[in-house]
Amino acid sequence: MKRFIIGLLIIRGFCGHAFAGEDGVRLLCRPVRDSIMLRWAPANKQAWDLGNEYGYVIERYTILRDGQLTNNRERTVLTETPLKPAPMEEWEPYAGNRFVATAAQCIFDTGESPPATTPVAVARQYRQAQNRFALALYAADQSPLTARLSGLCLTDTTAQAGEKYLYRAYIALPGAAPPLDTAFVFTGLSEYRPLPPPMELAAQWDDRKVMLSWNIFYQSHIYNSYVVEKSSDGKHYEPLSDKALVQLADAGAPSPMYAFKTDSLDNNETIWYYRIRGIDAFGEPGPPGDSVAGHGRIPISEAPVITGKEVANNKEVRLSWMFPEEMNRYISGFRLYRAPDPSGIKQKIYESKTPSERAFTDGSPDATNYYTISVYDNETEKFSPNITYAELIDSIPPRAPSGFTGRIDSTGKVWLSWNPNNEKDLDGYRIYRSNRPGFEFLLITPAVVKQPFYTDSVTLNTLTQQVYYRLRAIDLRQNQSAFSEVLELLRPDTIPPVAPVIKSVEVQKGALLLTWINSSSADVARHHIYRKQKSDTAFQLLTRVDRKPEKQSVYADRTVEPGETYIYRVRAEDNSRLYSAPSAPVQQQAPGGLAERVVLRKREYSDRALLHWEITAKKGVERVLIYRASDNMEIQLYNNTTENSYTDDSLSPDKKYVYRIKAVYTDGTSSALSNEVTVKL
């Protein structure tokens, strides 16, 4: 079943909101310069029957005056008696008006028939009644005269500037209380707005006909029908029909976005102009929208065909094609496309805007060219199904690749990259590898590599530390470039060096002389010497010594304290920063008597740590400095005391604390740091 899109029945009016129950009255307003037009309609067949029988009451309440609320909301009844359909004799003078005749027949000719005795008859009578209701409202929407005779409109000519009103419409049902079918709308003369022109008019021209379309969705609250106007000169327009166009939609379906109208043309030569006007629910026509112009055309049904090609001077390709001459006036021109291979991406190289053109010269062709052609107009582009091949003679190889670089990771994966060549006919690259720079390089990429990068893999467990690569470029004619520069890559070293061996630690005057046998690994870069005092728990790096060609190395430690005992060990580091295991430790006492001795001890409790110490020195001790580090933080000054012990009760569970002390003597000097003690509650 179809329904009419009737702007009156839309809740939102052009100038305000209409409020009503689903079974009541819908109200719409349209302020003009000196009055306010009101239109209303029942929401269904039952309300329509009641309105026709009892009539409609229109009331006005003055809400605002000069922007201020009024005190008593002045009430004015605009209908002296409820408005009903006019008597039949008032309709008869307008019997020639089809909208008046339609509404009169729906209102006065009830089409009564014998009582329905079957479900089919009941359904038929119901549909007939609904159709009478819909046609009567449609006729009132299309004709202000019909709306007035139907008792569905009123113009308030007493409205004043500077005032705003609440209009109320309802069916005058018997009884004292206002019915629940009341509709309201709030407006004033200040809300007058001129009607807008229709939007988005477009035309699709065909053989002796045109399809017009325009947007009706965004103005559906303003216009309920449209008039299509036509002109042969763009100045004098005439309506296509004396009937306004109403777009139909299926019941329950969303409102359509566009309206459509097809018009036939006498020929395909004359240029025609079209424009659209909207008609609102008060029968008021709006201004015309933008016009469209054009003429009929014969649709493109066949494609052009390239019939000739010529390669001239090995520099350009001359093409020619065939297409019916009689179609010239209906097309815009031709487009030529080129691709490097049959399935490659087509690039448009030429667009002709001269329909009579039938030849083109490609002045910058590639070495291999696959051409196709299309014909187009404002709406269509039709491609030729044929592909035309043309090639240039090419014996010039591409340039040798540059910027060749790479790296090998710890798993043996090789990452190679280089600067891309810019030749148009480049096909790709081939990559070669060798374990010796003077040996033959073997091809490792049978298929051409298209991108300027490649991933290879090599074994790391080999006697050769280096691997060598080079590459060359190749074009579509199989012309090969010269080789690139040789790229040398070092395989990652995964084997640590052999540990060195301490041969001796000898006492010298004021020093300890450390001698060790160097690591036997060939790639050793340096040796690391570690030292700790006998009372310390961890070795500290003392120095680094670069590898010498001799079999053994010597280092004199002149930072020793007289009489103190030291323990040494040595590690080797290779060029890949791999470290050997440490050598076996060797212990030796420094020459001279023990000038001083600072020994730190500890005693741990559940919530604190007691530090106590033994200090042997020729000088008097003024105070003791206490150093502390938590977890892996660097040790730093924590506190001091003049006592022989110190209790630290600021400890956290599950944390490791390291302590050392230093004695400050009465002459202002201080001792070296003591041994470390570790506490963990």
Residues 127 and 234 in one domain: no
Is residue 396 in a domain?
no
C-alpha distances in Å from residue 562, one per residue of 4, 540, 559, 591, 645: 114, 19, 10, 5, 26
Q: What confidence tens digit (pLDDT) does each residue in 607-632 have?
A: 999 999 999 888 899 999 999 999 88
Is pLDDT above 70 for 635? Answer: yes
The domain spanning residue 568 has which CATH number? 2.60.40.10
Is residue 356 in a domain?
yes
Q: Tell me the residue type at 71.
A: N
Separation CA 349–CA 366 (nearest Å): 12
Residues 616 and 551 in one domain: no
Is residue 210 in a domain?
yes
Q: Tell me the residue type at 252.
A: G
Is pLDDT above 70 for 114? Answer: no
Asked if 575 and 522 touch (Cβ cutoff 8 Å), the reply is no
Residues 171 and 22 in one domain: yes
User: What does the pLDDT average to over 644-664?
Assistant: 93
- 338 CB-near residues (< 8 Å, 6+ apart): 346, 347, 349, 362, 365, 366, 369, 370, 371
How many domains is the chain built from? 6
* Residue 287, domain extent: 199-294
User: What does the pLDDT average to over 94-117?
Assistant: 80
The last residue of one of the domains, among 489, 521, 547, is 489
Residues 21 and 98 in one domain: yes
Is pLDDT above 80 for 359? Answer: yes
Q: How far apart are the first and last CA of the chain?
A: 88
Is pLDDT above 60 for 4? Answer: no
Residues 585 and 622 in one domain: no
pLDDT of residue 157: 93
Is residue 367 in a domain?
yes
Q: What confidence tens digit (pLDDT) does each residue in 636-653 have?
A: 999 999 999 999 999 988
Is residue 563 in a domain?
yes
The last residue of one of the domains, among 191, 221, 239, is 191
Q: pLDDT grade, residue 252 (50/70/90)? A: low
pLDDT of residue 1: 33
pLDDT of residue 592: 77
Residues 12 and 149 in one domain: yes
Is pLDDT above 80 for 6? Answer: no
Residues 9 and 156 in one domain: yes
Choose among 653, 537, 555: nearest CA to 602.
Answer: 537
Is residue 399 in a domain?
no
Residues 383 and 432 in one domain: no
Q: What confidence tens digit (pLDDT) does each residue in 574-585 have?
A: 888 889 999 999
pTM summary value: 0.48
Higher-confidence residue: 535 or 378? 378
Q: pLDDT grade, residue 124 (50/70/90)? A: confident
Residues 675 and 621 in one domain: yes
Separation CA 131–CA 137 (nearest Å): 10
Lowest-confidence region among 171-175, 261-265, 544-548:
171-175
pLDDT of residue 405: 96
Residues 23 and 112 in one domain: yes
Is residue 660 in a domain?
yes
pLDDT of residue 575: 84
Separation CA 157–CA 550 (nearest Å): 120
What would the two tokens of residue 394 be? 């090419």
Q: Which run of H or E residues covers position 369?
A: strand 368-376
The last residue of one of the domains, among 364, 391, 418, is 391
Is pLDDT above 60 for 250? Answer: no
Please report where in the chains the tokens 């187009």 appear, as a residue: 376
Q: What confidence tens digit (pLDDT) does each residue in 322-355 have?
A: 999 989 988 999 999 999 888 889 999 999 989 9
Lowest-confidence region among 49-63, 114-128, 262-276, 305-319:
114-128
The vertex-281 CA angle with 280 and 283, nearest 5°, equals 70
Separation CA 586–CA 500 (nearest Å): 13
Residues 422 and 465 in one domain: yes
Q: What confidence tens digit (pLDDT) does each residue in 395-437 have?
A: 789 999 999 999 999 889 999 999 999 988 889 999 999 998 8
Residues 255 and 320 in one domain: no
Is residue 578 in a domain?
yes
